[in-house]
Amino acid sequence: MDYRSKTVLLSIPSIIGSIIFAAITAIAAIWSRSLWLGTMTVFYTVTIFMKLSVLRRGSMSLISRKTGYTSAENYRKFSLGLLVFDIVFGITLIIFHINYFIKDYPGFTIYITAVYVLIRLVFSIKNMVQARISQSFTTISLRKIDAVKSLVSLLILINALLGRFGHPYSDFTRYLNSAAGAGAFLIILIMSINGLIESKKARP
């Protein structure tokens, strides 16, 4: 089995795991009445649908002769969608920075998120390198989505840690949260622009 087929096959349990994590964070958001955690859960859930869309379009590229489903066109549309996602994500982070408030999350949120983030970050870096080597736009798209999931879950963890163990209402905590968000925004922006450039080069 080649790397592309293996990646697509393993996406199924990955999606199930993502749904479980999103459900846990949604419960924690309701429990703690945290608008921040609820909003991040929404963004995380959007990435699940993005992955399903990539898998659907990837399957269509194998069975359809329509030019709209070529590998390069699929990658272009994914990258454009990722750019829109990032713009909305960035605007949301700015709103939260201006109207800053923080909640004390349930302890299980921190521990579950910490384990999840550690595992996802390690595999995201490893898988992104392998995806680049495979030169498959479908696998690269899937791995980029995994990277975005890692960034969103990392923001959840940072916010929860600062809220529980730091000084949640200090300016330092506020700007540290915002700096982490800005870093995530820039990384996603680079991935989306890079995808648009690469897909344009690959189109006939």
pLDDT tens per residue across span 71-117? 888 889 999 999 999 999 999 999 988 887 666 566 666 777 777 77
- How many CA within 13 A on the CB side of residue 120? 24
Does this model's pTM top 0.85?
A: no
Instruction: Write out the residue range of the structural domain in which residue 187 sits.
Output: 3-202
For residue 177, is pLDDT > 60? yes
Residue 81, pLDDT score: 95
Given this model, what pLDDT does residue 2 score? 47
pLDDT band at 171 (very low <50, low <70, confident <90, very high): confident
What total of structural domains would you count in the chain? 1
Can you tell me the mean pLDDT for 27-52?
Answer: 89
Q: How confident is the model at residue 69 (pLDDT cuts 50, 70, 90)?
A: low
